[in-house]
Amino acid sequence: MQSNISLASQIGDYKFDNLLLNAAGIRCATTEELDKILDSDAGGCVTKSATPEPRKGNESPRMKATSMGCINSMGLPNHGLDYYLKFAEANQGKNGKQVILSIAGLSIDQNIEMLKKIQASSFAGLTELNLSCPNIAGKSQVGYDFEAVRDVLTSAFSFFKKPLGLKLPPYFDFNQFDGIAEVLNDFPVTYINVINSIGNGLVVDPETESVVIKPKGGFGGLGGDYVKPTALANVRALRQRLRPEISIIGTGGIKSGKDVFEHVLCGANLVQIGTAFGFDGTPIFERISKELTAIMEKKGYKTLDEFRGKLKTIE
Ligand code: HRO
């Protein structure tokens, strides 16, 4: 039976037939993996965050699945900006699907250098500037330093005229929600993506009496069930504080249609799936689409707009 329920959404001028995307970093480092996502039910794909040159990343073991999700300290292994930019130029808009190009320089200068290259290229899609990688030893997450965020955006928007999104770390205090929103509202940011993994968690194996990943003494970014309430809080708190023109991608703890429904209720325009996509691969996009459609059907919703941001509070 043909459903009259739509999972279509939009960010800026960019239309997505389905609000589900992969999260940067999971099964998206090669063109083969990216092609697979574009061939699935996802509304588009996001590339592994790129650095100016290819990187091998941190030493293994650098990712460990747990019963509640995963911990990683990959350290930005990637094929370098040229590789992903070429893919993005060739595939953006193909079959009505968007390619989001993710970049994560190790300094402001590297980010500006990459944005200049993207500005000069034929790529006309969305670029996602990752200001929240928790796994580079000796580098703190730019997203926690609001003056540094202001500096990078001031430099970027002095020449970058294409649509720009920002991948942000999780915030935990109302002062942080207020502080980052105040900065972002001063710039023509197209969207934000919240949240990156919760940085510097520690998983302990009591059998071996050891940490489970090698880099940084075992500290790494948490994803999966651990992070959903924090992700929902960030989507909600920032939706309440950002200019309405700034869209929000909700990322964190999504493994079912119910999880997507909750992210949209908090205000997400699109959502990205990381840990669970790592576990299940591309069939997850069809399964979650069906689950979300069933929830909407039961509740009598035909579009995401009918419930987006409409989370109720208790009087
Ligand atoms: O590559 C990584 O270690 C990594 C990145 Cl860039 C990121 O943004 N988030 C994460 O959990 N891992």
Q: Which ligand 1 atom is at minimum distance from the Cα of 167?
A: 8
Q: How far apart are CA 240 and CA 9, in angstroms?
A: 19
CA dihedral defined by 166, 306, 7, 129, rounded to 10 degrees?
0
Short-list 215, 274, 236, CA closest to 60? 215
Domain extent at residue 121:
9-58+75-199+224-306
Is pLDDT at 144 greater than 80 in this prediction?
A: yes
In the numeric block, the tokens 């050891």 are attached to: 210
Structural domain includes residue 117: yes
- Within a domain: 85: yes
What burial class does residue 210 get, using C-beta atoms within 10 Å of its C-beta: 0-12 exposed, 13-18 middle, 19+ buried?
exposed
Which residue's alpha carbon is at the smallest distance from atom 8 of ligand 1?
Answer: 133
Confidence check: pLDDT of 84 > 60: yes
pLDDT level of residue 222 (50, 70, 90 thresholds): very high
> pTM for the whole thing?
0.98
For residue 1, pLDDT beyond 70: no
| pLDDT number for residue 257 | 98
pLDDT at 3: 76
The span from the CA of 23 to the CA of 48, in Å, is 8
Whether residue 61 is preceded by a cis peptide bond, meaning omega within 30 degrees of 0, is yes
Ligand 1 pocket, 130 CB below 6 A? Answer: yes
Q: What is the pLDDT of residue 59?
A: 98
- Is residue 92 a part of any domain in this protein? yes
CA of 167 to the centre of ligand 1 (A): 11
Residue 276 has pLDDT above 50, yes or no: yes
pLDDT above 60 for 268: yes
Tens of pLDDT, residues 41-67:
999 999 999 999 999 999 999 999 999
Is 90 exceeded by the pLDDT of residue 112? yes
Q: How large is the average pLDDT for residues 119-136?
A: 97
Is residue 28 one of the residues assigned to a domain? yes
Q: Is residue 2 part of a domain?
A: no
Report whether pLDDT(2) > 70: no
Give the count of beta carbons closer than 10 Å to the beta carbon of residue 186: 13
Peptide bond into 112 cis (omega under 30): no
Cα–Cα distances in angstroms (integers) from residue 300 to residues 72, 263, 296, 307, in the given order: 39, 18, 6, 11
pLDDT(182) > 60: yes
Average pLDDT over residues 127-131: 98
In a domain, 183, yes or no: yes
105 is in an annotated binding site: no
d(CA 231, CA 252): 5
Whether residue 189 lies inside any domain: the answer is yes
DSSP-assigned letter for residue 82: H
Distance 62 CA to ligand 1 centre (A): 11
Three-state DSSP state, 309:
coil
Is the model's pLDDT at 115 over the cut of 60? yes
Left if phi > 0, otherwise alpha if psi is -120 to 50, otherwise beta: which for 279? Answer: alpha
CB 244 within 8 A of CB 187: no
Query: Is 48 annotated to bind ligand?
Result: yes
- What mean pLDDT value characterizes the chain? 97
The question of whether 266 is a catalytic residue gets the answer no
Taking the alpha carbons at both ends of the chain, their separation in whole angstroms is 41
Instruction: Determine how β-strand 20-22 pairs with β-strand 198-202.
Output: unpaired
Q: In the predicted model, what is the mean pLDDT of residues 90-104?
A: 95
Q: What is the CATH number of the domain that holds 249?
A: 3.20.20.70
The stretch 61-85 carries a mean pLDDT of 98
Domain count, the chain: 1
Asked if residue 35 is part of any domain, the answer here is yes
Determine the atom of ligand 1 nearest the C-alpha atom of 74.
3
